[in-house]
Structure 1
Amino acid sequence: MESTSSHKQSCTENGTGCGAGWRWLARRVNADAQALIAAVQNGTCIIRNVERESPSSAASAGVFLTSWLLWILPTVFPAKTDEVALVYAAAAAIMTTEPTYINSEPSPATQKLSVLEGPVDPPLVDLTLGELLELQTYQHGNQECLVIPWTGARWTYNELSQQSSSLSQALLDMGIGVGDRVAIMAGNCEQYAAVFFAVAKIGAILVILNNTYTPTEAMYGLKFSDTKVFFTTPQIGRLDQTQLLQQLENKKTSPKVVMLRGDESGKYQTYDELVNIGRRQSHQRLYQAMSKVLPHQVVNLQFTSGTTGLPKAAMLTHHNLVNNSRFIGDRMRLTPTDILCCPPPLFHCFGLVLGLLAIVTHGGKVVYPAEIFDIQATLRSISDERCTAVHGVPAMFDSLFQAQWPEDFNCNDLRTGIIAGAPVPRYLMELLVNRFGMTEFTSSYGLTEASPTCFNAFTDDSIDKRLTTVGTLMPHAKAKIVDRDGNIVPVGARGELCIGGYQLQAGYWNNSEKTSETMIRDASGVLWLHTGDEAVFDESGYCSITGRFKDIIIRGGENIYPLEIEERLMAHPTISRAIVVGLKNKHYGEVVGAFVELAENHQKPSFEELKDWCRKRLGGHKAPAHVFWLGEDDVPATVPLTGSGKVRKFEMAKLGDELLKKQATSSKL
């Protein structure tokens, strides 16, 4: 074995970045580098070759080295020897290195076109989800990671790692391997997190099904993905799964069903049984399986909650999820002392990536209050667990503020959290600060196909920026805004938001047509995801989402944006909800139609009063030409929603057109 000094010298001679990276690693572990040499003798030649082609920073070289080490460790060292422990310490040091925050207020853009590139610091890391969990377990093993008040579970990082590893070994025994699909449909529980990491560790793909799916929709997802094993529960909240389970029993090609919890029938194998089987297996097979998993392999099939047609399954990779969750936590300034209350569901990227993974990458603790969203359980969790952060969509926060709080409720520790998923009214953001004390709340924008977060505010951005924008572009991402012809619009002009960079999905599962429609490569070779969302950039690079690109109402050749009309209508004291759509009109092509809900204990205003209310702030052409009251005159009281709570506006527009036709027919009679 060559000496430490000669090894460092040879590395330096063949690439200054590599040499600096080696010395940086040795300093970070605060130990003699001798113990690392045995593991990296074969790896340094790889690094040297990379360095010859493209010299990188010291930190990037260190990250590359660590990624390579974590890949070979299970094979080289089946047990955690001192050498392995030292390497894990080095890797943990890299993962917990705080990013460089130059200034959360970006410098004014020099370009006049709406094109942005995110920061290049901190560097991307090449880790699988299994490696990430092992890394954080080494660093924070005895610290609580996952708290589920409704089941009583309080798992440390050690427990989560052990549970997922045992389940991984049981899945290997069942013949599940790289690329095989394993599905899950369940509420928020500790077993959900274990399944997520277990499937990832062996290179299989987790098919995540929405809890609100009907049996028909769930069967479609299972068949479409060719799932081999299906984890579920007999009931999810109030949703009885009996019909779905009966359909699965009647099909010969159905996947094997495993009950996560609550099965008293004895028909199915259970999660606990699989974990017990896995515990009796040798770890050697799992280590070998983990060594074959690469960061750029697909790990999740995440069904999108689109507002048209059948849901599409976005293929997300380890690389996508590990890095996006790191950057999310960085924007929130998360540390191992933070405790996040996360009521959004784990079947959604909000609960899984912004919740579980953002916490795991920063060594903190996440609390899932209930199986499905429960107002009182969420309030109790915030208070009892002394949470420092809370996530939610606007409707969740609105419900929390309208509820009766427990007498002993305490939210003094709350400082941050993310509100996203739908347009956020100003009054709601003000309540976050004034009632919850979330002075460091952040606004955010993302979509499933981008893993998911693209823009996020910093905790120290001005209140006005956090109220009116979704923040600035995330590290290593690209963004542009284009018109209907694909031309980049000037800064300050609205258009369709397009995203590029490391976080883009690998495509839609078994749907090349939709993939090519949504993901388009430009003349310079850059791949862009067309989001379908309408946005605008300001001179400093802050982004505001102004609506759905397809929802724009074109009245007589003039673009009208539904969101601003909805916000104006909801500012009226008698209106609790407003949905604005374009309705067919022979003269103008389209006119503004509004579906509104009357607030409790209020008298309904006249049509003219609402039109005048809109005209005071908006142009006359933006005032509704037609107003429909939810729950009255053949208008349903409920609104059609996607699984994640988005309004199916095309259905509302169709309903409006049908109501107008009916009115026209009645008037002729």
Structure 2
Amino acid sequence: MPTTQTALTTSYWPEHGEETIRDITLGGLLREAAATVPDRLALVDGVPDPAQRRTWTYAEFLREAEKVAHALLTGFAPGTKVAIWAPNSADWVILHEGISLAGMITVPINPAYRARELQYILSQSGASVIFYADQYRGADLGEIVEEIRPELPQLQLEVRSSQWEAFLEAADPSTELPEVHPTDPIQIQYTSGTTGFPKGALLHHKGVVNEAHLVALRAGMADGDVNVNAMPMYHVGGGAVTSLGAVAMHGTYVVMNYDPGLFLELVEAYRGTHALLVPTMLLGVLDHPDRPTRDLSSFKTMMSGASAVSPALVRRTAQEMGCDFSILFGQSEMHGVISQTRITDDPEDQSKTVGQPLSHLEVKVADPITGEPVPIGVQGEVCCRGYQVMLEYYNMPEQTAQTVDAEGWLHMGDLGVMDERGYLSINGRLKDMIIRGGMNIYPREIEALIEEHPAVREAVVVGVPDPKWGEQVGAVLKLHPDAEAPAAEDLRAYCKAQLAVHKVPAIWSFVEDFPVTASGKIQKFKLREQLVTE
């Protein structure tokens, strides 16, 4: 155990100082990199056409970000909320850094959102400025902004991507950049909103910078390594974990919109070493016909998370890509990751746990009723305390109080188990627990078993209302390409050989794709509705 040799006697991980937590801002981190390695390749706009790709050294990256900050400060004060409604691009990355240098707050928005969703976030955040793409998936985003414009009196400036250069040209370089503090807010990260309107987690510089740096270190990222990122920039995985981790390591950040073939090409072209892909994205890369022919010899570590990572996927990735694996676990309210497996962890820990907590963070697995840590090996709710806890849900004091208790513990809503070394295993969400005939059933155990079946690519297990049992176990499967759908009785027999009878799914269904949120999390409630209506 890296941080302590003393075995834990209860499911409580005390704060440890394995690495130093820095009092630094996003702008400070970029300035440090530009002063240290000014001529190193910092940023690549990984568009499909190689002839159209733009690149920036660290000196150029800082210069462009400062230009953005000067342009913003010509009309707005520090503290202003600035929305970004656009897919991934290098301009997105530069804009985010410029907002931070101006002492303003980024409001990232999924470009797939439409009028009602966009209006809610702009109104709830109080954004005064919005930058947006001209088009996204055939929709004219400008038309949508104009549609809701009368309902947003606080919105003062709209900048389309085609107006980007004109916006920068208006910058006044004599404008003094403000002093920004590490605990100042930098981003309002909206939750996925699977059960209603999303809540905006207000995050600070110190939290996103240090969390990203610690994740990069634990994933084995070294000075000058290359992160190829396809995670959405409007998600904490793209907008903080990968981007700031690369800057902290003075590395190269190749930003792209997800396409498995393009990802493989960019890894080969820029000698990529690291990436973060949620399981559905990673499966797309592994299954792509170009993978065997691409030179992936530079690639060191695949990171994954956001939804459950099966042991089968860990093994397959290591074998077919010849790389290490690191599983991340956390949520936006904690600035991203709270625990992570190390690349030196043995296969058992890599396949069955999400590793140990990050440095300078308290974690407990608590009784959901009393809040007290449960004994080692007993299931409870994962709770965290420390510098990584969000400032608040923006302008939502009641919801904040429901999530962060009076002692500063953030209740994640995840069910987990801690062993005597502090390694966490996640068994699902409190709200996803199935109660069948009074017996508590945790879907993750069943999903992991089903995903070992040779025909199954991914499995999701949900509770389905049942008049006799209260809930019945249902399974929705996505098969490997060209695999034939197994008969329900064969799948039940497969599960009965390794599970108690009450855990074996009684209902089986097959899908081409799972419904997912913007962050790649599978929307179980939609699958539950599907099983009810079938």
TM-score by length of 2: 0.94
The answer to whether the 8 Å contact 2:307/2:522 transfers is no
Query: Is 2:25 the counterpart of 1:133?
Result: no
Q: Which residue of 2 aligns with 1:458?
A: 342
Query: CA 1:335/1:599 → structure 2, altered by over 3 Å: closer, same or farther?
Result: closer
Residue 459 (structure 2) aligned to one of 573, 578, 586: 578
Q: Which residue of 1 aligns with 2:521?
A: 646
Q: Which residue of 2 aligns with 1:171?
A: 72
- Alpha-carbon separation, structure 2, partners of 1:596 and 1:330: 35
- Alpha-carbon separation, structure 2, partners of 1:480 and 1:609: 40
CA-CA distance at 1:638 after TM superposition: 5.4
SS of residue paired to 1:435: helix
Query: Is 2:96 the counterpart of 1:211?
Result: no
Residue 544 (structure 1) aligned to one of 422, 425, 449: 425
Q: Which residue of 1 aligns with 2:262?
A: 377
The answer to whether the 8 Å contact 1:187/1:237 transfers is no
Structure showing greater radius of gyration is: 1
Q: How does 1:173-322 map to 2 (within 5 A)?
A: 173-174=74-75, 176-236=76-136, 240-248=140-148, 253=153, 254-260=155-161, 263=162, 270-278=163-171, 280-282=172-174, 285-287=175-177, 289=178, 291=179, 293-322=180-209
- Alpha-carbon separation, structure 2, partners of 1:469 and 1:248: 45
Q: Which residue of 2 aligns with 1:156?
A: 57
1:407-466, CA deviations, whole angstroms, 9 ceiling, x for partnerless residues? 751011111231111111222212222221113x21111110000110012222223212
Query: Is 2:330 the counterpart of 1:330?
Result: no
Q: Which structure has the highest strand share of the two?
A: 2
Q: Which residue of 2 aligns with 1:109?
A: 7
Query: Is 2:289 the counterpart of 1:404?
Result: yes
- Alpha-carbon separation, structure 2, partners of 1:380 and 1:203: 37
Runs (5+) with no aligned partner, structure 1: 1-102, 264-269, 631-636, 660-669
CA-CA distance at 1:588 after TM superposition: 2.5
CA-CA distance at 1:598 after TM superposition: 5.1
- Alpha-carbon separation, structure 2, partners of 1:322 and 1:146: 17
Residues paired across the two proteins, number: 528
CA-CA distance at 1:606 after TM superposition: 3.0
The answer to whether the 8 Å contact 1:421/1:445 transfers is yes
- Alpha-carbon separation, structure 1, partners of 2:455 and 2:301: 32
**Paired AA for residue 97 in structure 2:** F
The answer to whether the 8 Å contact 2:224/2:249 transfers is no
- Alpha-carbon separation, structure 2, partners of 1:653 and 1:402: 28
- Alpha-carbon separation, structure 1, partners of 2:367 and 2:453: 33
**Paired AA for residue 131 in structure 1:** G
**Paired AA for residue 204 in structure 2:** T
- Alpha-carbon separation, structure 1, partners of 2:239 and 2:152: 32
The answer to whether the 8 Å contact 2:227/2:273 transfers is yes
CA-CA distance at 1:307 after TM superposition: 2.2
Residue 442 (structure 1) aligned to one of 322, 326, 335: 326
1:274-299, CA deviations, whole angstroms, 9 ceiling, x for partnerless residues? 22222x531xx324x2x2x2211111
The answer to whether the 8 Å contact 2:8/2:421 transfers is no
CA-CA distance at 1:159 after TM superposition: 1.1
Query: Is 2:498 the counterpart of 1:617?
Result: yes
Q: Which residue of 2 aligns with 1:664?
A: none
Residue 389 (structure 1) aligned to one of 268, 274, 278: 274
The answer to whether the 8 Å contact 1:339/1:364 transfers is yes
1:128-161, CA deviations, whole angstroms, 9 ceiling, x for partnerless residues? 2222211221111111111113141111111111
- Alpha-carbon separation, structure 1, partners of 2:272 and 2:285: 15
1:65-121, CA deviations, whole angstroms, 9 ceiling, x for partnerless residues? xxxxxxxxxxxxxxxxxxxxxxxxxxxxxxxxxxxxxx648535232x211024213
**Paired AA for residue 35 in structure 2:** Y
- Alpha-carbon separation, structure 2, partners of 1:407 and 1:601: 19
The answer to whether the 8 Å contact 1:105/1:461 transfers is no
The answer to whether the 8 Å contact 2:8/2:422 transfers is no
- Alpha-carbon separation, structure 2, partners of 1:568 and 1:408: 32
Query: CA 1:528/1:239 → structure 2, altered by over 3 Å: closer, same or farther?
Result: farther
Q: Which residue of 2 aligns with 1:45?
A: none
Residue 351 (structure 1) aligned to one of 233, 238, 254: 238
Q: Which residue of 1 aligns with 2:364?
A: 480
- Alpha-carbon separation, structure 2, partners of 1:459 and 1:601: 33
Identical amino acids, percent of aligned pairs: 29
Query: CA 1:240/1:376 → structure 2, altered by over 3 Å: closer, same or farther?
Result: farther
CA-CA distance at 1:199 after TM superposition: 1.1
CA-CA distance at 1:597 after TM superposition: 4.0
1:599-647, CA deviations, whole angstroms, 9 ceiling, x for partnerless residues? 55444433322221111111101111222344xxxxxx65433222222
CA-CA distance at 1:509 after TM superposition: 0.7
- Alpha-carbon separation, structure 2, partners of 1:605 and 1:406: 28
The answer to whether the 8 Å contact 1:215/1:243 transfers is no
**Paired AA for residue 72 in structure 2:** L
The answer to whether the 8 Å contact 2:208/2:241 transfers is no
Query: Is 2:453 the counterpart of 1:591?
Result: no
1:522-543, CA deviations, whole angstroms, 9 ceiling, x for partnerless residues? xxxx311111111111111111
**Paired AA for residue 212 in structure 1:** A
The answer to whether the 8 Å contact 1:128/1:295 transfers is yes
Query: Is 2:385 the counterpart of 1:492?
Result: no
Residue 316 (structure 2) aligned to one of 431, 434, 454: 431
Which has the higher relative contact order, 1 or 2, with Cα contacts under 8 A spaced 6 or more apart?
A: 2
Query: CA 1:466/1:583 → structure 2, altered by over 3 Å: closer, same or farther?
Result: same
The answer to whether the 8 Å contact 1:104/1:460 transfers is no
The answer to whether the 8 Å contact 1:307/1:647 transfers is no
The answer to whether the 8 Å contact 2:353/2:425 transfers is yes
CA-CA distance at 1:336 after TM superposition: 2.3
CA-CA distance at 1:470 after TM superposition: 1.1
The answer to whether the 8 Å contact 1:594/1:628 transfers is yes
- Alpha-carbon separation, structure 1, partners of 2:311 and 2:236: 24
The answer to whether the 8 Å contact 1:148/1:367 transfers is yes
Runs (5+) with no aligned partner, structure 2: none
The answer to whether the 8 Å contact 1:331/1:458 transfers is yes
- Alpha-carbon separation, structure 1, partners of 2:291 and 2:522: 32
- Alpha-carbon separation, structure 2, partners of 1:255 and 1:649: 39
SS of residue paired to 1:520: coil
TM-score by length of 1: 0.75
Q: Which residue of 2 aligns with 1:608?
A: 489
**Paired AA for residue 486 in structure 2:** P
SS of residue paired to 2:409: strand
